[in-house]
Amino acid sequence: MTHEVNSRPLPPAATTAPAAAARPSAMDRVDGGLEWLWHFISSMRVAMIIMLAIAVLGVFGSLLVQAPQAVLDDPAAKAEWLESVRPKYGGWTNVFDTVGLFQVFNSIMFRILVAALTISLIACSIHRIPGMIHTARNPRVDVGPAFFEHAPQHEAIVVRRSVEETREVVENVLRSRRYRTLSSVDGTVHIYADRFRLAPFAGLAGHLSLVVIMAGAIIGGMYGYRDSQFTLAEGQTLPVAAEPGVTIQLLDFTDRYDPTTGAPIDYASQVVLYKDGAEVLRHTVRVNDPVRYNGLSFYQAFYGAAATMSVKDDEGNVLMASEGVPLAWTTNDEGRKIGSFNIPGTPYVGWVTGTLGNGDTFIAPGQVRFELYTTGEGTLVDQKVINQGEAATIGNLTVTFERESQFTGLNIARDPGVPLIWIGSFLLFVGFVIRFTVPHKRIWGRIVSRPNGGAVVGMATLTHKDVTAGSEFEHVVNDIRTALAAPTQA
């Protein structure tokens, strides 16, 4: 990488000799190949190309309609889906499909690129760490004289003082500006001063945070749980599959609309959570206000009509008392709302079909149709259209349609990767902000005595002068100049 970054080259003498060059490899071929691979994967050029390639896929992914995963898993549904988008894309439909552009983010291409980026990020960081530690811990103090003539910013000051005295003044000025100073003497005094030497590690953290985020996404994908079709009618209590012993009950669902525009304003589900039958918490779930329990989160997702039903057996025992049945399905032919429930203590399933509203002669408003099937074979036992509030005998059961009600559709999720996502996001942001706002400032100095008394101070830095704004280096040099010009004490 260092060979590519040309904005901040190290001073000629300070270039950390590449490890590979220092010890010529014995195992030629393999080593050469590996080395090439290492260079390739940790190269910034390659990283940039991968990033741009992902961006190109992203453009397709955002401009083209993406097929839902459920559709892709089922060939028939997929064929149907392709037909539905054919009017839009015409002859391109098959091309896009073949290349995988209708499921860009699941495509092999995309996965390979993301994997490559992750590997590149890791390789890149590993590659950088030793050099970074070296620069922070034992930076090169003695740089050759040429550097003081060719560095992006450099200054020379001629003074009357002795070398030792000069050195003290220079170091004091640097320290008063909160620089750390290191020096070495070999006839010439070499000074190295820096500030914020740990700042470059923030950039490293920023890069590695992306690996943390990817890890979070992978963990979420592997160990996460999601049920985005969980329906719960008013009065109904259902077990939560992801958490044994936990049940959830819906007390009430409310939807509110703007009276003039009819735009939705609020969806609210009052729910109670039970663990082994004991209430653990109560919450009104809204669109922006999920309820969380033990790593599980419940989000408001959708809603619909339900029927509150009561069922008794032929001896008058109550099998089900005023419990809601979500009519969450829609019949294919007529578009009626329909839902089913297992009747406790019987081998039957009840199907409830709703009305289509005013003008429906088959199932009028205030009625539902009830069908009784056996659980196993699904044979129809009996069926009837029943009136609200009237007990009807169906099979050997007494069924009452108490009233119309509503159900809420919840999205239940457990994603153990989420904490990593937030940690990674935090590191990403903070890391790059520090990287951008706090530069590692480095200044080299060199003091040589002049043959006929006095000394020459050379100062240099690697940062280019900001083309329009002032430069820290200039300020430092000015301070040093002023301090050196002051009369010598005694």
Question: Which residues would be at the binding site for ligand HEM (CB under 6 A)?
Answer: 1, 5, 42-44, 47, 51, 117, 120-121, 124, 200, 203, 207, 210, 432, 435
CB contact at 8 A, 263 and 282: no
Task: Give the one residue of 16, 39, 61, 97 binding other proteins; rule: CB under 8 A.
Answer: 61
Which option in other proteins, ligand HEM, none does residue 229 bind, with CB closer than 5 to 8 A by kind? none
Site for other proteins in 251-270 (CB under 8 A): 258, 261, 263-267
CA distance 265 to 315: 47
Q: Which of residues 298-357 bind other proteins (CB under 8 A)?
A: 299-301
Q: What is the distance between the alpha carbons of residues 26 and 28, in angstroms, rounded to a whole number?
A: 5
Which of these, 424, 132, 473, 415, lies nearest to 292 by C-alpha position?
Answer: 415
Q: Which does 287 bind (CB under 5 to 8 A by kind): other proteins, ligand HEM, none?
A: other proteins
38 binds, among other proteins, ligand HEM, none (CB under 5 to 8 A by kind): none
Nearer to ligand HEM, 257 or 436 (CB): 436
The least CB distance from residue 298 to other proteins, in Å, is: 8
DSSP 217-229: HHHHHHH-EEEEE
Amino acid at 291: V
The single residue among 432, 449, 456, 471 that binds other proteins, judged by CB under 8 A, is 432
Specify whether the CB–CB gap between 430 and 209 falls below 8 A: no
Q: Rule CB under 8 A: say whether 108 interacts with other proteins.
A: no
Give the residue with the Cβ less far from other proteins, 179 or 201.
201
Q: How far is the CB of 47 from other proteins (least distance, A)?
A: 7
Least Å distance, CB 200 to ligand HEM, is 6
- Cβ-contact 213, 425 below 8 angstroms: yes
- Of the candidates 151, 408, 419, which has an alpha carbon nearest to the alpha carbon of residue 300? 408
Query: In which order are the strands placed within the sheet that holds 264-275?
Result: 237-239, 246-257, 264-275, 278-286
Cα–Cα distance measured from residue 80 to residue 78, given in angstroms and rounded to the nearest whole number: 5
Cβ–Cβ < 8 Å for 345, 313: yes
- CA 11, distance to chain mean position in Å, is 39
Taking CB under 8 A as the binding criterion, the range among 48-56, 175-183, 303-311, 353-361 that sits at the site for other proteins is: 48-56
Residue choice 32, 35, 40, 105 for contact with other proteins (CB under 8 A): 105
Contacted by 418, from ligand HEM, other proteins, none: CB < 5 to 8 Å by type: other proteins
DSSP state of 234: B
Pick one of ligand HEM, other proteins, none as the site partner of residue 121 (Cβ within 5 to 8 A by kind): ligand HEM
Q: Taking the complex as a whole, how short is the minimal distance between the CB of residue 378 and other proteins, in angstroms?
A: 33
CA atoms of 307 and 468, how far apart (whole Å): 73
Q: Which of 421, 447, 455, 459 binds other proteins (CB under 8 A)?
A: 421
Residue pair 292/283 in contact (Cβ under 8 Å)? The answer is no
Identity of the residue, 6 or 379, whose beta carbon is nearer to ligand HEM in the bound complex: 6
- Candidates 39, 275, 283, 286; binder of other proteins (CB under 8 A) is 286
Q: Is 345 exposed, middle or buried (0-12, 13-18, 19+ CB in 10 A)?
A: exposed
- The distance of closest approach from Cβ of residue 225 to other proteins in the complex, given in angstroms and rounded to an integer, is 11
The CA-atom distances, in angstroms, between 409 and each of 114, 171, 229, 242, 395 are: 34, 70, 6, 16, 31
CB of 226 to other proteins, least distance (A): 8
Partners of 311 in beta bridges: 320, 399
In whole angstroms, what is the distance from residue 306 CA to residue 337 CA? 9
Q: In the bound complex, which residue of the shown chain has the CB atom lying closest to ligand HEM? A: 124
Tokens of 356: 């289509």
* Residue ranges that bind other proteins, judged by CB under 8 A: 4-8, 44-45, 47-48, 51-52, 54-55, 58-59, 61-63, 66, 105, 217, 226, 228, 258, 261, 263-267, 286-290, 297, 299-301, 411, 413, 415, 418, 421-422, 425, 428-429, 432-433, 436, 466-469
